[in-house]
Chains A and B, each alone.
Chain A
Amino acid sequence: MKIAVCVKEVPDAGPSRRIDPGTMRMDRSGDRSLNAYDLNAVEEAIRLRDAAGGGEVVLVSVGQSKALESMRKGLAMGADRAVLVTDDAAAGSDLVATSRVLAEAVKAESPDLVLFGQQATDGDGAVMWAAVADRLRMPVVSQISELEVADGTATAKRQTEFGYDTIRTPLPAVLAVADSLNEPRYPSLKGIMGAKKKPQETKGLADVGVDPGQAGEAGSRTKVLGLSEPPSRGDTVKIEDEGDAAQKILDFLVERKLV
Chain B
Amino acid sequence: MSTLVFLEHHGSAIQKGSLGVLSKAAQIDPDTSAVVIGSGVAGLAADAGRYGATTLYVADDAALEAPLPQPRVDVIARLVQEKGFDTVLFAASVLAADVAGALSARLEAGLNWDLSDIESRDGELVGKRSALGDTVRADVGWTSTPRLAMFRAGSFDPSETGGEASVEHVAVGTEDFSTQAVMVEQAHAEQSGPSIEDADILVTGGRGLGDPEGFKQLEELAKALGGAVASTRAVVDSGWYPYATQVGQTGKVVSPKLYIGAGVSGAIQHKVGMQTSQTIVSINKDPNAPIFEFSDLGVVGDLNAIVPQLTELVKARKG
Q: Which residues of B contact A70 (CB under 8 A)?
A: none
Between A and B, 16 residue pairs with Cβ closer than 8 Å are A95-B111, A127-B101, A130-B97, A145-B237, A159-B250, A165-B185, A222-B111, A227-B137, A229-B136, A230-B134, A236-B292, A238-B298, A241-B305, A246-B306, A249-B310, A259-B225
Rounded to whole angstroms, the CA-CA distance of A211 and B140 in the bound complex is 25
Is B313 positioned at the interface, with any CB of A under 8 Å from its CB?
yes
Measured CB to CB, the nearest residue on chain A to B302 is A241
Is B192 positioned at the interface, with any CB of A under 8 Å from its CB?
no
Q: Which residues of B contact A179 (CB under 8 A)?
A: 234
Q: Which residues of B contact A166 (CB under 8 A)?
A: 183-185
Interface string of B97-139 (1 = CB under 8 A from A): 1111111111011111110000000000010001111111111
Rounded to whole angstroms, the CA-CA distance of A211 and B288 in the bound complex is 40
CB within 8 A of A141: which of B103, B181, B312, B314?
Answer: B181
Query: Does B138 lie within 8 Å of A227, measured CB to CB?
Result: yes
Query: Does B300 lie within 8 Å of A241, measured CB to CB?
Result: yes
Is B93 positioned at the interface, with any CB of A under 8 Å from its CB?
yes
CB within 8 A of A135: which of B105, B136, B143, B317?
Answer: B105
Query: Does A230 lie within 8 Å of B314, measured CB to CB?
Result: no
Query: Does A140 lie within 8 Å of B143, measured CB to CB?
Result: no
Interface residues of B in 186-226 (CB under 8 A from A): 186-190, 201, 207, 225
Interface residues of A in 227-256 (CB under 8 A from B): 227-230, 233, 235-241, 245-250, 252-254, 256
Interface residues, chain B, with chain A CB atoms under 8 Å away? 10, 15, 67-70, 73, 93-95, 97-106, 108-114, 126, 130-144, 150, 175-178, 180-190, 201, 207, 225, 233-238, 243, 249-250, 257-258, 268, 279, 281, 283, 287-290, 292-302, 305-307, 309-310, 312-314, 317-318
Query: Does A240 lie within 8 Å of B300, measured CB to CB?
Result: yes
Q: Tell whether A165 pairs with B234 under 8 Å between CB atoms, given A137-B175, A222-B112, A223-B141.
A: no
Measured CB to CB, the nearest residue on chain B to A235 is B296
Q: Report the minimum CB–CB distance from A168 to chain B (whole Å).
A: 5
CB within 8 A of A140: which of B93, B181, B187, B249?
Answer: B181
User: Range of interface residues on chain A?
Assistant: 35 or more
Rounded to whole angstroms, the CA-CA distance of A254 and B281 in the bound complex is 13
Query: Does A239 lie within 8 Å of B300, measured CB to CB?
Result: yes
Known pairs A250-B317, A259-B317. 17 more at Cβ < 8 A? A14-B288, A26-B132, A121-B132, A123-B131, A124-B113, A127-B150, A137-B176, A159-B236, A168-B184, A170-B180, A173-B181, A179-B234, A224-B139, A241-B301, A248-B299, A258-B258, A259-B314
Is A133 positioned at the interface, with any CB of B under 8 Å from its CB?
yes
Measured CB to CB, the nearest residue on chain A to B145 is A221
Query: Does B190 lie within 8 Å of A163, measured CB to CB?
Result: yes
CB within 8 A of B143: which of A128, A165, A222?
Answer: A222
Interface string of A127-152 (1 = CB under 8 A from B): 11111111101111111010000000
Interface residues, chain A, with chain B CB atoms under 8 Å away? 11-15, 17-19, 26, 94-96, 99-100, 103, 121-135, 137-143, 145, 155, 158-170, 173, 178-181, 220-230, 233, 235-241, 245-250, 252-254, 256, 258-259
Q: Which residues of A contact B184 (CB under 8 A)?
A: 155, 166-168
Q: Report the minimum CB–CB distance from B234 to chain A (whole Å).
A: 5
Rounded to whole angstroms, the CA-CA distance of A245 and B284 in the bound complex is 12
Q: Which residues of A contact B95 (CB under 8 A)?
A: 160
Q: Tell whether A164 pairs with B137 under 8 Å between CB atoms, given A134-B73, A258-B201, A258-B279.
A: no
CB within 8 A of B104: which of A18, A26, A99, A249?
Answer: A99
Query: Does B105 lie within 8 Å of A167, measured CB to CB?
Result: no
Rounded to whole angstroms, the CA-CA distance of A237 and B178 in the bound complex is 50
Q: Which residues of B contact A129 (CB under 8 A)?
A: 101
Query: Does B281 lie within 8 Å of A252, measured CB to CB?
Result: yes
Rounded to whole angstroms, the CA-CA distance of A235 and B314 in the bound complex is 24
Q: Which residues of A contact B297 (CB under 8 A)?
A: 236-239, 248-249, 252
Q: Which residues of B contact A133 (CB under 8 A)?
A: 70, 102
Query: Does B105 lie within 8 Å of A131, measured CB to CB?
Result: yes
Measured CB to CB, the nearest residue on chain B to A240 is B300
Q: Report the minimum CB–CB distance from A117 to chain B (whole Å).
A: 13
Rounded to whole angstroms, the CA-CA distance of A125 and B131 in the bound complex is 9
Q: Tell whether A228 pairs with B137 under 8 Å between CB atoms, given A127-B104, A130-B69, A134-B105.
A: yes
